Structure 1
Amino acid sequence: MKLTALEIKQQQFEKSLRGYDVSEVQAYLNLVASEWEHMVGKMRELESQLEKMDEKLKHYERVEQALHETLQTAKDSAEQKLVGAKKEARNIIEKAEMESDSIVRDANQQRQQIRQSILRLLDRREEIIGGMKSYLEMAQESLNHFSRDDASLFRLPKEDSRSQQDPNSSEDQQEGPSEKRSKQKKEQPIPPGSDNLDDILDEIE
């Protein structure tokens, strides 16, 4: 049974000879009606707050659900990115390994080529050194052979002491050095074997 404050105030009781005081009963009913009205208002206020709390709770539940979905989406995206990053990293590593292997092969080939070039240069150096040694030995032998004067072909004859008392010495003094040398050459006797000088020089060459 649902009572209101007005119903409590208008409640009537039967009168008896030894019944309660009507004024006191009426005052009490008014008090009860006031308290009841206050309690009803409080209950309505609480019900309104409860409805608001329910709405907030539903809102928070929706926010929680959205956050959960966002976190799940972020988690899935992170996992996909992680998988893609791992795959890309593997591809980069494989590509780097292939490039490094190619670089090492090229470096080894270049090293072999450089080594072959160095060996050829060393062989060529030995050939040049051998050729220079042979040339120097032949030149030294030719120089030794050319420096020998077994036939005394390259020695000047000694001057005669009588040439110092020659009355024509005054004329020699007037002559120039070149004329003196040509004159001396004409006056010098030809050493034996000097007629074969050209043949000897050809033989030395």
Structure 2
Amino acid sequence: MKLTALEIKQQQFEKSLRGYDVSEVNAYLNLVANEWEHMVGKMKEMEAQLDKMDEKLKHYERVEQALHETLQTAKDSAEQKLVGAKKESRNIIEKAEMESDAIVREANQKRQQIRQSILRLLDRREEIIGGMKSYLEMAQDSLQHFSRDDASLFSLPKEDTGYSGEQEERRKQESASTKKRSQQKEEQPVPPGAENLDDILDDID
């Protein structure tokens, strides 16, 4: 039953011989009606505030749902980025290991090539030393052979003090021929490779 302030004010009671004082009852009814009207206004105000609070609550719930979805999306994105970063880091590490292995292999190959080059240089050095020894032995043999030539080539035959001009000319020709042979022996060519011996030895050292 819904009761209003006007209904309270207009409420009628039956009269009896020994009943309540009518003025007091009416005054009390007016007081109750006023209070009732005041309470109804408060209730309406509270209902309006409650409706506003419900709207705010729904708004906050929608915001909470959006935040939850945003956080979930951010979490999924972060997990995907983390997985991608781990995968990329593994790829970088694998690539670095492959490059380092390639560098080591290349270094070993170059080291082997340098070693072979050094061995070839050492062999070449031995060849040059052998050529020099052969040249020196040949030069020594030539010198010994030259020193054992007949002394008659370097001395005049015993003749009378008065020799003709023809004999003097023949002696000069023999002397010039001997000098030419000596120069030819001194100008014999050196073995191949010996002319740059000092430079080669400096490079080897």
User: TM-score, normalising length from structure 2?
Assistant: 0.66
**What residue in structure 1 maps to residue 7 of structure 2?**
7
**What residue in structure 1 maps to residue 118 of structure 2?**
118
Report the structure number with the largest CA radius of gyration. Answer: 1
Does residue 1:198 correspond to 2:170, yes or no? Answer: no
**What residue in structure 2 maps to residue 38 of structure 1?**
38
Instruction: Tell me by how many angstroms 1:59 deviates.
Output: 1.0
Q: Alpha-carbon deviations, 1:14-43, whole Å to 9, x = none?
A: 222222221121111111111111111111
Structure 1 22/134 Cα, relative in aligned 2: closer, same or farther at 3 Å? same
Q: Which amino acid letter does the alignment assign opposite residue 19 of structure 1?
A: G
Q: How do 1:40-189 residues align onto structure 2 when only pairs under 5 Å count?
A: 40-136=40-136, 138-139=138-139
**What residue in structure 2 maps to residue 172 of structure 1?**
none
Whether the 8 Å CA contact 2:9–2:33 is kept in 1: the answer is yes
Greater shift, 77-86 or 26-35, is seen at 77-86
**What residue in structure 2 maps to residue 164 of structure 1?**
none
Q: Identity of aligned pairs, percent? A: 85
Aligned residues: 168
SS in 2 for 1:28: helix
Q: Which amino acid letter does the alignment assign opposite residue 54 of structure 1?
A: D
Unpaired runs of 5+ residues, structure 2, are 156-167, 186-205
Distance 1:145 1:63 in 2: 119
Whether the 8 Å CA contact 2:153–2:178 is kept in 1: the answer is no
Instruction: Tell me by how many angstroms 1:135 deviates.
Output: 3.6
Structure 1 66/199 Cα, relative in aligned 2: closer, same or farther at 3 Å? closer
SS in 1 for 2:52: helix
Q: Which amino acid letter does the alignment assign opposite residue 7 of structure 1?
A: E
Q: Alpha-carbon deviations, 1:53-89, whole Å to 9, x = none?
A: 1111111111111111111111112222222222222
Structure 1 134/8 Cα, relative in aligned 2: closer, same or farther at 3 Å? same
Distance 1:50 1:119 in 2: 101
Structure 1 200/72 Cα, relative in aligned 2: closer, same or farther at 3 Å? closer
